[in-house]
Structure 1
Amino acid sequence: MTAGTGVERGVWAAPGRVNLIGEHTDYCDGFVLPFALPQRTVVTAERLGRPEWSVTSTLTGETVTFDLSEPVTGWAAYVAAVVWALRDAGHDVPGARLHVDSDVPGGAGLSSSAALECAVLSALADLGGLDIPLAHRPKLAQRAENEYVGVPCGIMDQSASTLCREGHALFLDCRTMATEHVPLDLAGQGLAILVIDSRAPHQLADGEYAARRAACERAAALLGLPALRDAALADLSRLDDPLLVRRARHVVTENARVLETIALLREGRLREIGPLMTASHASMRDDFEITVPEVDEAVETALAAGAYGARMTGGGFGGCVLALVEAEKLDAVAEAVHTAFATRGFRPPATFTALPAPGAHRLS
């Protein structure tokens, strides 16, 4: 593919994300509703005159240089993966010197990896003058993570990091890639979303995420369906394996909860999405079995302290909880969770308020 005239240098950013509702539905061709966080990864980049890439991380202090002749591992693999995916798609990717900084918490289920991928992709596209429509970029970043890094993630994280708009949640149909920006005016209704980072170990590459995806694909195949997006609850009686029934039931009911949530948001009935968030968490806990004691404690404590709803967000096995609360109750709910964690002997959680932020863009 022919590149246009690129820029010599610049600064680009891409955000982390939380998923308001719709967990483990993206790779089942289902529905998701994420929004971008103010926390973001920033890439400062300049073009080099040779096919070589050098990336320095402020977080690790490391500099890694590569030319794709050998596999790249560790955190820099996410950068190499983007270069690989772009080149494999036929793009003339310019060599570049990259400097990466980020305030997206790593290992918290907030898509720090997608933020890195999408910021690097934005930088390289502009440096090389590459003609890549915004709508096509999530697929490239997802392929980078799936095929180069080896993480079988769906399309949601990269879509959120690329496409989200400030003040909105992103309704994404993961089959058609159709999007709708749904207003999420929390402050206008006196509400806030408290993010509780459980600080429990969050590992997606240990096989558990892959096992859940494989179970969903197996269930769909046994039902003779392209994906669980096409299943109804009544179909699950045709599955003999109780584990597959539970996994499929989560996906079917979660897709329905996403659609219900969107209908309420369109009508401005934000408080009424709370019970759907809580039901989503129960489904992840009981049917999908991806929660851990820390996130269950955070959900139960937030609800007891007055939250309208609460749920884990992200791939599971650790990570963060979202709680929908009255803005005036933010401090009280956060304090209750801190106290509960101390009582249980858990590591102290981190808490912050989430506001819908813009997707990937050039800063300068």
Structure 2
Amino acid sequence: MAHSTNYVPILSLSSISEIYPPLDVNAQSDRCRALIETFRSVYPNRSPKFISRAPGRVNLIGEHIDYAGFGVLPMALSRDILIAVDVSDDDEDRRVRIANVNGEKYKPSSWEFEGKEKIVEIIVEEGVSVWCNYFRCGYKGILQYLGIDNPKGMYCLVDGTVPSGAGLSSSSAFVCSVALATSLANNANLTKKQITEISIESERLCGMNTGGMDQTASIFSQKGHALYIQFLPSLNATPVRLPSIDPPIAFVIANSLVTADKVVTAPIHYNLRVIETKLAAYDLGKTLFGKECENLKQVCDLHSETSEVKVSHLEFLSEFVENHYSEPNKREGHSLDELAELLNLSKSEIHAKFLSKFPVRAERFHLYKRSKHVFDEALRVLRFHEICLASEKSNVGDREVKENDVGGQETFENLGRLMNQSHESCKKLFDCSCDELDKLVRICLDGGAVGSRLTGAGWGGCTVSLIREDQIEPFIQHVIANYYKPLFPHLTKKQLNDAIFATRPGSGAAIIVGLEGAVVQ
């Protein structure tokens, strides 16, 4: 069980073959060599002491429910953020210097340490997202946690292969890699749970009311496994072996190429959804139990009188929401005045309690649609997890369930059905899809996917599709012919390879040491 891994340190590895799939090792060795050589040219007479690494993630199912307190089921990608780091030997040198291998897009930055409180002064300006702010946030989070007032000077070079704005958690991977690099540079050997919790709080400094799934997946994932993450009553991450069928199942990521910058659009999209779920939790908690609830998981806990989430509890709450918000005007959302009447709070109390911590803008607040999605999506996660567990128990030794066996076919179709239901709910109840994502999902299903859905925050970004492994190449060609060629006819072969790719469950964050030997193995 992964519960025990909460308190073990991040792995320090001396071979990248322990991180990447066998077919990727040569390419990743070349990438690490290039990173080291570029580091030496950016910082003459210096070489990196280590490379911190944190992967992006794809969420298989469980969208927008982590911040409501419910479990989710993502897996790490092979695509990641690497930061090559050298540490200053001069005790008086506390300057942080950061650069990116893509220097044209991401300009270098540096700052002198003048105290923890001055590291991040104004991180969030509406409509502005600056890459170095993510570094500053991860850096500040570690120094605050460790209580460091005399940090080491750092020379850092970043190389990322997780596409930004694609819903694959590039920002969280970056913050996690920064937190890991900063802790090691300052001789702190923190546990996975510590790094995860620090990274969650750090990213919130950038103006994102993040729930924690992205950071947990980036830190805790194990190669070959998805990850069942529970947040309440405490953080737990359990590796989940995906069902073994023949031909094996595979997941294909397809980028809609609609960029979704969560920080820029947070007030009308991500942060607003967080607040709407919290408003629903407050309303349902007072209505059902006469108690104020912080999130919808607490409503579920009060109904069950335990912290264990069960199918019956979620089914009851989903049905209750249908009845409680059955009037047409409630289905269409609430104005601030209507919200005040519903919650028996003044508008100033609503602002102070719900709207003041993170930037939010809305004419109407949708309590029915958001809470209905959360309870139903949490139910889908439970069922997805149960299917995986049942499949693992049904296998004898290394015997794989054959696709033409009833069990294998049924497992395959049931997982796909849950993914399809998830997308419909994201589209119709959570309003976090877009025309391009919906079109891409339809094309993926027409191309042979048994399940396809948006993944990540939505409003752009990627889809994830469940197919058979032997269908990967024809499936990708179908999507290229029907989505990318008509809409983006000038994409190069490299750009297409970056836009759509098959992926396997990857490993979590790590420190790569012994660099000269690590990158040749």
Conserved? CA contact 1:15–1:161, under 8 Å: yes
1:190 aligns with 2:313: no
Q: Supply the distance in 1 between the matched residues of 2:443 and 2:202 (Cα, whole angstroms).
A: 38
Further displaced range: 105-114 or 335-344: 335-344
1:63 aligns with 2:212: no
- The one of 303, 317, 321 aligned to 2:459: 317
Q: Which residue of 1 aligns with 2:382?
A: 259
Q: Which residue of 2 aligns with 1:5?
A: none
Equivalent residue runs for 1:36-75 within 5 Å? 36-48=76-88, 49=90, 50-61=93-104, 62-66=107-111, 67=113, 69=118, 71=121, 74-75=130-131
Q: Supply the distance in 2 between the matched residues of 1:344 and 1:281 (Cα, whole angstroms).
A: 23
Q: Alpha carbon RMSD of aligned pairs, Å? A: 2.0
Equivalent residue runs for 1:27-106 within 5 Å? 27-48=67-88, 49=90, 50-61=93-104, 62-66=107-111, 67=113, 69=118, 71=121, 74-92=130-148, 93-106=151-164
- SS of corresponding position for 1:16: strand
Conserved? CA contact 2:59–2:73, under 8 Å: yes
Q: Which residue of 2 aligns with 1:336?
A: 478
Code of the residue aligned with 1:357 in structure 2: it is G
Code of the residue aligned with 2:54 in structure 1: it is A
Conserved? CA contact 1:184–1:356, under 8 Å: no
Conserved? CA contact 1:297–1:340, under 8 Å: no
- SS of corresponding position for 1:28: coil
Q: Supply the distance in 1 between the matched residues of 2:222 and 2:245 (Cα, whole angstroms).
A: 16
1:117 aligns with 2:202: no
What is the deviation of 1:60? 3.0
The C-alpha deviation readout for 1:338-362, integer Å capped at 9, x for no partner, is 2332586467662101111111101
Q: Supply the distance in 1 between the matched residues of 2:85 and 2:70 (Cα, whole angstroms).
A: 36
Equivalent residue runs for 1:268-287 within 5 Å? 268=391, 270-271=411-412, 272-287=414-429
Equivalent residue runs for 1:127-166 within 5 Å? 127-146=185-204, 148-166=205-223
Q: Supply the distance in 2 between the matched residues of 1:344 and 1:220 (Cα, whole angstroms).
A: 44
Q: Supply the distance in 1 between the matched residues of 2:157 and 2:487 (Cα, whole angstroms).
A: 38
Structure 1 residues not aligned, in runs of 5+: 1-7
What is the deviation of 1:278? 0.5
What is the deviation of 1:184? 2.5
1:151 and 1:129, CA in 2 relative to 1: closer, same or farther beyond 3 A?
same
1:150 and 1:82, CA in 2 relative to 1: closer, same or farther beyond 3 A?
same
What is the deviation of 1:303? 1.3
- The one of 61, 84, 89 aligned to 1:21: 61
Query: Between Structure 1 and Structure 2, whose CA radius of gyration is higher?
Result: 2
Code of the residue aligned with 1:313 in structure 2: it is T
Further displaced range: 184-193 or 123-132: 184-193
Code of the residue aligned with 2:235 in structure 1: it is M
Which 4+ residue blocks in structure 1 deviate beyond 3 angstroms?
68-73, 185-189, 342-349
- SS of corresponding position for 2:72: strand
1:342 and 1:106, CA in 2 relative to 1: closer, same or farther beyond 3 A?
closer
Q: Which residue of 2 aligns with 1:213?
A: 274
Q: Supply the distance in 2 between the matched residues of 1:90 and 1:124 (Cα, whole angstroms).
A: 11
Q: Which residue of 1 aligns with 2:238?
A: 180
The C-alpha deviation readout for 1:55-101, integer Å capped at 9, x for no partner, is 11112352210236364751011111011111222342433111101
Conserved? CA contact 2:278–2:295, under 8 Å: yes
Q: Supply the distance in 2 between the matched residues of 1:104 and 1:188 (Cα, whole angstroms).
A: 30
- The one of 214, 226, 231 aligned to 1:169: 226
Give the TM-score normalised by the residue count of structure 2. 0.65
Q: Which residue of 1 aligns with 2:320?
A: 235
Further displaced range: 196-205 or 353-362: 196-205
The C-alpha deviation readout for 1:142-163, integer Å capped at 9, x for no partner, is 11111x2111111001111111
Q: Supply the distance in 2 between the matched residues of 1:262 and 1:25 (Cα, whole angstroms).
A: 15
Further displaced range: 193-202 or 347-356: 347-356
Conserved? CA contact 2:448–2:475, under 8 Å: yes
Code of the residue aligned with 2:418 in structure 1: it is L
What is the deviation of 1:189? 4.5
Q: Supply the distance in 2 between the matched residues of 1:104 and 1:260 (Cα, whole angstroms).
A: 29
What is the deviation of 1:296? 0.8
Conserved? CA contact 2:81–2:162, under 8 Å: yes
Q: Supply the distance in 1 between the matched residues of 2:186 and 2:484 (Cα, whole angstroms).
A: 51
1:188 and 1:135, CA in 2 relative to 1: closer, same or farther beyond 3 A?
farther
The C-alpha deviation readout for 1:162-189, integer Å capped at 9, x for no partner, is 1100000110012221221001366875
Count residues with an aligned counterpart. Answer: 356
1:362 aligns with 2:405: no
* More strand, by proportion: 1
Conserved? CA contact 1:82–1:141, under 8 Å: yes
Conserved? CA contact 2:138–2:178, under 8 Å: yes
Give the TM-score normalised by the residue count of structure 1. 0.92
Code of the residue aligned with 2:284 in structure 1: it is L
Further displaced range: 239-248 or 15-24: 239-248
What is the deviation of 1:203? 2.5
Further displaced range: 245-254 or 195-204: 195-204
Conserved? CA contact 2:141–2:179, under 8 Å: no
